[in-house]
Structure 1
Amino acid sequence: MSPTVALEPKSCCDLSCKKMNYEFFSQTDPGLIRSNNEDVVCFDVSTRLCILADGMGGYNAGEVASAMAATFINAEMGRWLTQTGLNPLPKGVRRAMEICVENANHSIYNAGNSNPQYTGMGTTLVVGVFHNDCLTLGHIGDSRCYRLRGDALVQITKDHSLLQEQIDAGLITPEAALTSSNRNLVTRALGVEDGVALEIHEHRVESGDLYLMCSDGLSDMVRDEVISEIMQGFESLEQKAWRLTSAANTSGGRDNISVLLVLASQALEKRSFLSRMLGK
């Protein structure tokens, strides 16, 4: 069964005010077939910046593209967030993300054009910034972000892929898409052309939300019902990540598998001595 894709209004975080705590954990695995790992996943607790990239290209070009994307965006976006602090305005985060991704795209594209071994290399991308009770989320390609709220798992990114376009056009059903041979044909990638459109949306975060960023090495191998069941377990984030990776390998492990989990909880605000005395 294909998951519901929820794209929230771009302005939903403009009045964000709740302070949130976030717990992060990431894991990447080469899978059972491939000898190298072209996925890169990273996060920064201090800036609440998360990045996942799934590289593509001949030789080691996929590794190069994903590493360049993650390194560049982590450095540039991380620097901007550090200077701005934990309470940036959503419009500022969106603009900074667009600029950083645009610059990363140019770097990868130029490297591919200047080195024949890297010609045509590119990478998918999911990049998110958690600020207060808002997630600013950008993506390119078919790497995904899911949100588990209560017992409802929702895909909050929409694949940039030929298969998704066929589904949207009514040429194929979501059920038939699960076994289609076109699953890995992306229509948008970072670094392949001199310009790329980053799709950005803002999402309101609620206490208890659990977010999953993943490469298609997970989503192609494990049905959403199984992903939901694992994410709803009472284990730690580390154990959930291990179970997700193991599920993909048990199903064949045909690709690299990367997962990044983020758990949100509302921060307890400290009250002054006078407020406590007055019961406020």
Structure 2
Amino acid sequence: MMASDDSLTLPGTLSSGQKTPVSRLQRWRIAGILLPFAFLGLMEALVRTHVVPEHLVPAPSTIAETLWQLCGDRLGRHIGASSLRVFAGFAIGAVIAILFGAAMGLSRRLEALLDPSFQALRAIPSLAWVPVLLLWMGIDEAPKITLIAIGAFFPVHLSVVAGIRGVDRKLIELGEVNRLSQRALFVRILLPASLPQIFTGLRTGLSLAWMFMVAAELIAATRGLGYLLSDGRETGRPDLVFGAILLLALLGKLSDSVLKAIETRVLSWRDTSTGSNR
């Protein structure tokens, strides 16, 4: 017996031979990857035709040449120093935030006690912490990592509290009906249900960790991308400034992509809508 036409339809195509919405979405994703390169090409043309002054915005080719000259151990040391500070500060801040957030999410009394202080501390700008940390910790690595941890702490803390508070009451009642202990209720119901929001907070905290790293490397740093920014400003080299900015953007995107991949794997059990492909 001949197979029906439907059984011969290949994945990614419709029976009429048209592309599926998934294929169209894939083209948009490829366009999204190419968009930054198109922007760099446009800036190259604008600078070379003197539409944009080169002393204000250097050509991307000039920036690439500067980074190439820094390649090797020197650039690697700057990237490595900044990356280690970010990951150490983010890990410390995220772990403490998860612990405090879980405790405050489970106890309204503890939330009422600590939340006003945390919200006041959250409003303090990153640079305002610099003289305090210098006074307390000196000029070694400790104040830099502490400042990055502070930046990562608050978005993760807020997401954990909001995630636990936002769990559907019916799920909690179901656990109570099945006589789950408080620990089992947290592990089997509250934590899985709040994980999507927690991962959102982790990704936000990671991006803030990169931002706070620049402020942290103003604390007597001799290595790091924040140091390159400061050095380029002081020596009047916009190519070095923009090169450091591009590296920060690239490293921030790469680290966020890794965390997003972990999120997708951990939350693979979810049955959610992917939204419109238009």
- Give the TM-score normalised by the residue count of structure 1: 0.26
Select the structure of larger CA radius of gyration.
2
Higher strand proportion, which one? Answer: 1
Higher helix proportion, which one? Answer: 2
- Taking CA–CA contacts closer than 8 Å with sequence separation of 6 or more, which of the two structures ends up with the larger relative contact order? 1
